[in-house]
Amino acid sequence: MNDTPGAFTTRILNVASGSAETVVDLTHECESFLREAARGRDGLLNVFVPHATAGVAVLETGAGSDSDLLAALHTLLPADDRWQHRHGSPGHGRDHVLPALIAPHATLPVIGGALELGTWQSVCLVDTNKDNPDRQVRLSFLG
């Protein structure tokens, strides 16, 4: 990390998303990064997933919304043989369409060094690709 105040600071998280479709809550990791990088300053946190088959979402977790999101994605993007992109698991082409619906990035406000989320909001990795169990997430603070 660059320790210069006002500088761009970044960190790579390695996330084991497993071999099943999942929503992984990254909020704690984002907050931990900001404690070191922001040090009480205002700025922006960018969360970026450098993968063609994953996205970043801000949503409620733990009350069923994460499961509801995966169910909605099954309705919108069925894992069947309709997709032109056909390597990998059956229906894998849907995973390559996912980032058009759930962007691979989110930029969030940081106020006084803390992530400014709503009461029930969490920062999450959304990964429907069962063929790639290891992901990277880049956290970047500018403040």
Give the pLDDT of the chain (143 residues) as one tens digit per residue.
Answer: 545 556 799 999 999 998 899 999 999 999 999 999 999 999 999 999 999 999 999 999 989 999 999 999 999 999 898 888 878 888 889 999 999 999 999 999 999 999 999 999 999 999 999 898 999 999 999 99
pLDDT of residue 6: 61
How far apart are alpha carbons 112 and 25 in whole angstroms?
A: 22
Question: Which secondary structure element, helix H or strand E, spans residue 96, and what is its range?
Answer: helix 93-101
Question: Which secondary structure element, helix H or strand E, spans residue 7, and what is its range?
Answer: none
pLDDT of residue 38: 96
Q: Are 25 and 123 in contact (CB under 8 A)?
A: yes
How far apart are alpha carbons 60 and 73 in whole angstroms?
A: 16
Please tell me the class of the 8-142 domain. Answer: mainly beta
Domain extent listing, the chain: 8-142
Closest-CA residue to 108 (of 58, 49, 33)? 58
pTM: 0.92
